[in-house]
Amino acid sequence: MSDLWRLSAAELAALIRSKQVSAKEAAMDALARLDAVNPKINAVIDFRAADVLEQAAAVDAAVARGEDVGPLAGVPITVKVNVDQEGFATTNGVTLQRDVIARSNSPVVDNLRQAGAVILGRTNCPAFSYRWFTASLIHGDTKNPRDPGLTPGGSSGGAGAAVAAGLGAIAHGTDIAGSIRYPAYACGVHGLRPTLGRVAGYNAALPDRPIGPQLCAVSGPLARTIGDLRLALAAMSGRDARDPWWVPAPLEGPPVPKRAALCVAPDGLETTPDVAAAVIDAGQRLERAGWTVEAIETGPPMREAAELNTKLWLGDGYEAQLAAAEREGDPGALACLRGIRSKVLPFEADTLSKALTRRATLTREWLAFFERYAVLLTPVSGELPFPDHLDRKDDACFARVWRAQLPQVAIPFMGLPALSVATGLVGRAPVGVQVVSGRFREDLCFAAGEAIEAGGTPPSPIDPVS
C-alpha cells in the first residue's frame, strides 16, 4: 500500500494492528516522503533511517506475538529538538548545545514510544525556542509548506511544517507562549497546549529551568485531525515520576452544558477582519452542532497575564540569557531579547513573589469564568500568519508581532489548556480559532474542536508550494 503518509494516525494504527499493513511498510513510506519533501522545507533536522526501521521492526514483532502494541501502533511521528531523545543532541536550536547528547529519553518521548509510535525524526526550532519564526544558525530556516513567504510559526515551526507536509501523522511540540498553537495556526493544522501537569516533562541532559518556565511550559501534540490529537494526548500523558508537576487527572471530565463564550477582541486585541470572520464562523459552526454561543466584549484578563508570563519567561535570568544569545550570535534570538527588554526589566527582588501572587488571583478569575462557560473562543493571533521573519524587520514590526500574539501569551500564565483549530484559508494563508477551557478539561476543547473541524479545514497533508 502506498501513500500511507496521507493517513491519519488512527487509520494507520488500525491497519497495522490488524496486520493489513506492517509498521515497516509505514516507516519506509514515511522515510520516502521525508526524502522527497523535507529538503524543500527543512522541518526535520535529524533522523536515522536505520533506527526508524528498527523501531518499526519491534512493533511488527509485537503484533506477530499478539501483544497490545498501543494506540499509536507503528505510527511515524516527530519530536522537537528541544527535548531529550536518547543518543541525539538536545540542541534547542543553538550551536552551544550541539554536543549535549541525551543519555535517556524525556518522559514524553518514553510515553510516545510505549504507545507504539515510531519516531521518524527531530524537528526544527529557533535558537533557544524564543520566536514565532523558525530559523537557527545550527539547523537553518524552516519553510511553511503552504507558502514559503509566511512563517511556519515558532517555536515548534518544524513540527507544524512536518505535520502539514505529511512528515509524520503527529508531531510533538512545546508551548510557553504559543509555540504549539501558533505553528499549528500558521501551517493550517491543529495543535493542543495541554494543562500544566498533564504531560510529564524533564530533560536530564540540561539543568532545571527557573520557576517561571516550569509553571508555563508544556509539551503537547500537533496533528491534522482532532481525533489524532486525542490519541496523542492520551499517549503523551502517562505517569512519570521525574516530573514533580505531573497530575494523574482523568482525560474525560464530568459533563457540562455545551455553552461557549466568543470574544473577537479579548482585552483590546487589534483583530483584523479576516481573523474576526474566522472566529465568528467557528462560533456559527458550534451553534449548528447544538452549542449555545454567547458573544462577549471581553473575557477574563489577558493583557496582564501576558505581561507577567513574558516577565517570568524572559525576565528571570535575563542577563544570562542575553549573554548566551550573544555567544550564540543568532540574530533572531538577539532581536527577541533586545526587543523585549523593556517588558521584562527591572526584575527586582520581589518581582517573582508579586507575579506568583497575581497568578493565583488571575487563575481564580479564569476558573470562575469556566464555571459558566465550557469553552472560550478567541483568535489565535490578531493577524493572519506573518510574513517570515517580520519580527526582525524593524522595531515597529517587532512590536506588531508581540501585540498580535496576546491570546497565545496570556493562557500559559494560568496553566490552562488551549487548542488551535485550523478552519480555512485566506488565499494561501491559514486561519483558525483558539479554544480555551478550564484546567484538565482538554476534553471540552476537543469536543468544541471537533464541532468546528466538521465545518471544514484546510486540506492536508499537502505538497510544499514554491
C-alpha grid cell, residue 118: 515510531
Q: Does residue 281 contact residue 314 with C-beta atoms inside 8 Å?
A: no
In the chain, the amino acid numbered 247 is V
Distance separating alpha carbons of residues 74 and 59, to the nearest angstrom: 6
Residue 208 class from Cβ within 10 Å (0-12 exposed, 13-18 middle, 19+ buried)? Answer: exposed
Question: Is 155 noted as a catalytic residue in this protein?
Answer: yes
Measured from the Cβ of residue 159, the count of other Cβ atoms closer than 10 Å reads 42
Q: Is 80 a catalytic residue?
A: yes
Task: Name 148's Cβ contacts closer than 8 Å, sequence gap at least 6.
Answer: 388, 464, 465, 466
Burial of 351 per CB tally in 10 Å (0-12, 13-18, 19+)? middle
Angle at 280 (CA atoms; ends 160, 287), nearest 5 degrees: 105
The total of other beta-carbon atoms located within 10 Å of residue 320's CB is 9
> Taking a C-beta distance cutoff of 8 angstroms, is the pair 239, 248 a contact?
yes
Give Cα separations from 379 to 272, 301, 352, 416, 439 (angstroms): 10, 15, 29, 16, 20
User: From the candidates 24, 80, 143, 311, which is the catalytic residue?
Assistant: 80
- Given the residues 129, 136, 156, 179, select the one marked as catalytic: 179
197 conformational bin, left if phi > 0, alpha if psi -120 to 50, beta if neither: left
Which residues, including other chains, have CB under 8 Å from residue 360's CB and lie 6 or more apart? none
DSSP 150: B
Catalytic residue among 155, 156, 219, 237: 155
179 included as an active-site residue: yes
> Residue 56: which residues within 8 A CB-CB, separation 6 or more?
22, 23, 24, 26, 27, 74, 118
Burial call 419-452: b when 16+ CB within 10 Å, e when fewer: bbbbbbbeeebbbbbbbbbbbbbbbbbbbbbbbb
Looking at residue 101, the DSSP 8-state letter turns out to be B
Q: Measure the CA–CA gap between 290 and 275, rounded to whole angstroms.
A: 23
Sign of the Cα pseudo-torsion (31, 33, 39, 42, in order)? negative
Q: Which residues are catalytic?
A: 80, 155, 179
